[in-house]
Structure 1
Amino acid sequence: MPALDLSQFHFTLFNALDIVLVALLIYQLYNLIKGTIAVNILIGLIIIILLNFVVHALHMTLLMKILDTFIQVGIIAVVVIFQQELRRFLLLLGRNASLQRNRAWWRYFSGNNDAAKDNYKRIKPIVDACKSLKQTRTGALIVFVRDYDEQSYVNSCEVMDAIISKRLLESIFQKTSPLHDGAVIISGNKIRSASCILPLTDNTDLPPQFGLRHRAGIGVTEANDATALIVSEETGEISYAKQGKVKMNISFAELEKLLNKDF
C-alpha cells in the first residue's frame, strides 16, 4: 500500500481563518432559515443535486438534460427563491457594520448626553402606554424602523406623522378605534403611520399561542431593519421581536432597556 504523500499540504494561519469564516457563514445562514419554509426548499435542492449525480452515473440521457438545464440556472433560481433570506442576511451584515450600533463611538462623535435625554423623552410615553395596555389587556403592535419609507406603507397604512404620546397610542389601539386593527410605525420622534397590514412570518417553530399580531411583528423584523413591540390581547403579556427572534413576557424595566438600546 503506497504511503500517503503530505509533502504538498501546507496548513497556514490563513487556512484556519478561512475554515472559521466559512463555518460562521454557514452558521449564520442556518440561523436565518431555521424554522422557516426555506429549510424544506433547501432540502429539495440538495435532493435534486444528488439525483443529478445518480442520473449521470446511470447515463440516463433524458433526465440528464432536464437536470443539467435546471442546475445551469440554479444560481438565479436560488436568488429568486431565497430572496427574503438573502435580504435578511444583508440587513444583518449592515446592522453589525453600522457605526450607529457602536454606542461608544457614537457618543464620542456626538459629543454630549443630549441624545440620551431625547431618547428618554421618546421612550417614556411608549412604556407608559404599554403599562396601560397591559393592564386593560388591549392588543397592540408597535414597530420601530430606522429609515421610514413612506412608499412602502402608503397603500396599507393610515399616514399620521404625529408626535409620540401615551394617550395617542392608547387611543389608536382601543377596540372602538378604526385604527386599532394593525400596526403603528414609529421612526425618529414621530408616529409615522397606523393601522398597517404587515407580512406574516414563515417561521413554523413559534409557540402555539402566537396569533396574527405576534406573527406580523416577527415577520416585519425578518424582512426589514426593524424591531417590534407586541402586547397580547389575551394575556396582556409584552413581547419584543428583533431580527426574527422574540423575547416573551418581558418586564417594563427590560422593555425600557431594549427601547433605549435600539433607539
Structure 2
Amino acid sequence: MKSFDFDFLKFSWASAIDIILVAILIYYVYSLIRNTLAVNLLLGMFIILIFYQVVKGLHMDLLSKIIDKFISVGIMALIIIFQPEIRRFLLHIGKSTFLQKNKAWWGYLFGSKDRERDNLLRIKPIIDACKSMKKSRTGALIVFVKFYDDELFTNSCEIIDSKISKRLLESIFQKHSPLHDGAVVIAENKIKSASCILPLTDNDKLPPQFGLRHRAGIGISETADAVAVIVSEETGEIAYAKQGRVRMNVSFGELEKLLNKDF
C-alpha cells in the first residue's frame, strides 16, 4: 500500500499566527473598501482573471496575449486606481499604533490635563456655533483634519488661518456670505480655510435625502484622516461623519465627546 504525505496537515503556532494576520488584513481591506466603488473594481478584475483562465484553457492565443499584457501592468494600475484606499489604509494603520492608542496615558504622564482643558475650550466655540446654526437652520460643513494637506485643500479653498471663533464660523456660513458654499477646514487649532470643494463619496447606498453637503462630508472622511460635522439646512439636524460612516441626529453632548476624542 502506497504511503501518503500528510505534511500539509501539520499545524504550528506560526501557521495560526499566519492565518490570524491574513484574516486581520482581509478585514481591514474590507472595512476600507466597503460601500465604495472599489468593490465593483475588484469584482471586475476578478471576472477578467476568470475570463483569462478560460481563454487560456481554450488556447485562444491572440486574446490570451492581449489580456496577459493588460494583467502585466496590473500592479501599477492597482496603485493608481486604489490610491485613495491605500492612503486611508496607511493612515488607519498609523492611527492604530500603540503610541496613538495610548496617547492618553503618555499625555497623563507629561501633564496632559491642562491640554485636555484647553481642548474643551477650543471645542466650545464650535459647539456654540453649531447650536446657533441648528436654531437658524443654516447649512454648514466643518471638517477637522489632523494633518493639513496643502495639495488637497489649498487649491480649492480660500485661506483663512485664523483663531477658532463662534462669530467667524457663523459669518462664514451665513447664507449671503461669499464663502458659505463649501466646507471650513480646521487643523492645528485654527480655521485654516473656507469655501473648500471636497470630493464626494461614491457610496450609492446613502439615504436619498442626503445632499451634496452630506456626501462631501462623508467623502472627505473616506479619503483623508478627517472627521466632518454637517448641519442640515433643511432640518437643522447635526450629522457626524468618520471613516466613511455617518451618525445622524447627534446631540450637542455627543458632539462634544466625539470632537474631544477625535479632534
Which TM-score band applies after superposition, normalised by the shorter structure?
over 0.9
Q: Deviations over 1:244-263 (max 9, x none)?
A: 11111111110000010012
Alignment of 1:172 with 2:145, yes or no, is no
Question: What is the CA–CA distance in structure 2 between the aligned matches of 1:76 and 1:187, rounded to whole Å?
Answer: 33
**Contact 1:36 1:202 (8 Å CA) reproduced:** yes
Residue of structure 2 equivalent to 1:218? 218
* Offset, 1:4: 5.2
Q: Deviations over 1:149-208 (max 9, x none)?
A: 344322211111111111111111110111111101111221111111111111112111
Question: What is the CA–CA distance in structure 1 between the aligned matches of 2:151 and 2:7, rounded to whole Å?
Answer: 61
Mark the runs of 5 or more structure 1 residues left unpaired by the alignment. Answer: none
**Contact 1:161 1:191 (8 Å CA) reproduced:** yes
Residue of structure 2 equivalent to 1:182? 182
Please tell me the residue identity of whatever aligns with 1:14: A
% of aligned pairs identical?
64
Question: What is the CA–CA distance in structure 2 between the aligned matches of 1:206 and 1:196, rounded to whole Å?
Answer: 22
Question: What is the CA–CA distance in structure 2 between the aligned matches of 1:100 and 1:49, rounded to whole Å?
Answer: 40
Residue of structure 1 equivalent to 2:44? 44
State TM-score, norm by structure 2: 0.94
**In structure 2, do the counterparts of structure 1 residues 106 and 59 end up closer, same or farther at CA, with 3 Å as the change threshold?**
same
Residue of structure 1 equivalent to 2:16? 16
**Contact 1:99 1:105 (8 Å CA) reproduced:** no
Which sits farther off after the overlay, 70-79 or 135-144? 70-79
SS at match of 2:241: strand
* Offset, 1:83: 1.2
Matches within 5 A, 1:50-61: 50-61=50-61
Please tell me the residue identity of whatever aligns with 2:164: I
Residue of structure 1 equivalent to 2:92? 92
Please tell me the residue identity of whatever aligns with 2:21: L
Please tell me the residue identity of whatever aligns with 1:141: L
Length, aligned pairs only: 263
SS at match of 1:32: helix
Residue of structure 2 equivalent to 1:201? 201
Residue of structure 2 equivalent to 1:67? 67
SS at match of 2:177: coil
* Offset, 1:98: 6.5
SS at match of 1:141: strand
Residue of structure 2 equivalent to 1:142? 142
Question: What is the CA–CA distance in structure 1 between the aligned matches of 2:121 and 2:212, rounded to whole Å?
Answer: 30
Residue of structure 2 equivalent to 1:262? 262
**Contact 1:100 1:106 (8 Å CA) reproduced:** no
Mark the runs of 5 or more structure 2 residues left unpaired by the alignment. Answer: none
Please tell me the residue identity of whatever aligns with 1:99: L
* Offset, 1:92: 0.9
Q: Deviations over 1:185-234 (max 9, x none)?
A: 11122111111111111111211111100111111111111111100111
Q: Deviations over 1:31-85 (max 9, x none)?
A: 2112111111111100111111111111111111111111111111111111111
**In structure 2, do the counterparts of structure 1 residues 106 and 206 end up closer, same or farther at CA, with 3 Å as the change threshold?**
farther
SS at match of 1:106: helix
Please tell me the residue identity of whatever aligns with 2:42: L
* Offset, 1:24: 1.6
